[in-house]
Amino acid sequence: MAIIYAVGVGPGDPELLTRKAERILRSVDVILAPVSNPTEASVALGTIREFIDEERQEIVVHLFPMTSDKTRLIPAWQDAATLIAAHAEAGRSVAFITIGDPLFYSTFIYLLRLFREQWPLIPLEIVPGISSINAAAACAGLPLVEADEKMAVIPATAGIVQIKAALDHFETVVLLKVKPLHSDIIELIRTTGREQRTVFVERVGSPRQKVLTDFSEISAHTPDYLSLMIIK
């Protein structure tokens, strides 16, 4: 029985992979890359292309629908877990790759629960990756927290009420997936007087990276799905 690896490949820059992640990705028999849209390429797979041998290794791109509908999501999770487990039971090592870190807002978290429930004897190893938050702060040259400061990380889809509550109680607030509520977030930042303390980062680590610190530019920009804001 072979090992299943969950490998965080970082935010999109191949140079931000850990040495351990690269070693494992070069060695495994099968690599499974998640996508949320069948018409789009896998960001995780694009990040690791230079480290893999597509003639020797089997590359599987698996669709995980971008939806909150559990009737669609649960079968996708189960199909992926069953496929990965079948390879491992047949003696083929598998790496499930994910942008960022496998245990930080990652699809792999749902697969991990299935592996523990249904295939508890299959060896599993999790390889951490650099999150978009750390990469974005580095690109912007912005300290996230210091001394006794507190930080909150919130998916913007949690809603404006929760975002405002976080701004009231934390010195730093990081908002992920800001696209759906971009205009509402902009208005909240204005009303709370944080225009000069907001940084917007999109597609960090990729050739499409964008870092905006001017609030008028942040307001006018139409964000990509892979974007975040750091509000101090």
**In this structure, what token pair is assigned to residue 224?**
């990509």
Question: pLDDT tens for residues 82-129?
Answer: 999 999 999 999 999 999 999 999 999 999 999 999 999 999 999 999
113 and 197 belong to one structural domain: no
12 and 120 belong to one structural domain: yes
Q: DSSP 3-state assignment of 216?
A: helix
90 and 147 belong to one structural domain: no
19 and 103 belong to one structural domain: yes
122 and 171 belong to one structural domain: no
40 and 109 belong to one structural domain: yes
Q: At what angle do helices 108-118 and 70-89 cross, to 10 degrees?
A: 60
Listed residues 92, 127, 162: the one ending a domain: 127
The number of domains in the chain is: 2
The CA distance from 52 to 13, in Å, is: 15
Domain that holds residue 111: 4-127
Listed residues 127, 146, 162: the one ending a domain: 127
13 and 76 belong to one structural domain: yes
200 and 144 belong to one structural domain: yes
45 and 137 belong to one structural domain: no
Please report, for the domain that includes residue 18, its CATH number: 3.40.1010.10
Question: pLDDT tens for residues 153-181?
Answer: 999 989 999 999 999 999 999 999 999 99
101 and 166 belong to one structural domain: no
Mean pLDDT of the chain: 95
Give the mean pLDDT of 45-49: 95
97 and 148 belong to one structural domain: no
Looking at the predicted structure, is the pLDDT value of residue 39 above 80?
A: no
Model-level pTM?
A: 0.92
**In this structure, what token pair is assigned to residue 37?**
């849209």
119 and 141 belong to one structural domain: no
- Strand order across the beta sheet in which 30-35 lies: 58-63, 30-35, 94-98, 4-8, 124-127
The CA distance from 192 to 106, in Å, is: 31
Please report, for the domain that includes residue 153, its CATH number: 3.30.950.10
pLDDT at 38: 76
pLDDT at 1: 78
Listed residues 127, 146, 166: the one ending a domain: 127
- For 29-65, b/e burial (b = at least 16 CB within 10 A) is bbbbbbbeeeeeebbbbebbeebbeeeebebbebebe
